[in-house]
Amino acid sequence: MSAKTIKLEIPFQKLISIVDQLDPDEKLILKKKLEKHEAATWQERFGKALRQLGRKNVRFSEKEVAGDVKKAIAEARAGAKN
C-alpha cells in the first residue's frame, strides 16, 4: 500500500477542542509524538526556508535575491525599533 499525504486546514481553536476530547492515553501518545519533533532554531528554520525558496525560484539571480534579503533585513530591523 502506498502512502498518501493530505493537507488539512483546521482552525487552531477547533484543533484544541478536538485534542480536549482525547482520552488521557491518546493525549500521552500525542504528547510523545510532538516531543519527537524538536523545535528548530531560527537559523535552522531560516536555512530550510532558503533551500525551499532556492528550489522554487531558480529563475532569479543570486544578486537579485541578495538585494531582496538585505532589504528585508533592513525592514525587519526598522520595524523592531518601533
Tens of pLDDT, residue by residue over 23-59, are 999 999 988 888 777 667 888 878 888 888 878 878 8
| CA gap 11, 15 in Å, rounded | 6
Task: Give pLDDT tens digits for 4-28.
Answer: 888 888 898 998 999 999 999 999 9
Domain map of the chain by residue range? 9-38, 42-81
Residue 21 confidence (pLDDT): 95
| CA gap 53, 60 in Å, rounded | 10
DSSP 2-67: ----------HHHHHHHHHTS-HHHHHHHHHHHHHSPPPPHHHHHHHHHHHHHHH-TTS-HHHHHH
Residue 53 confidence (pLDDT): 80
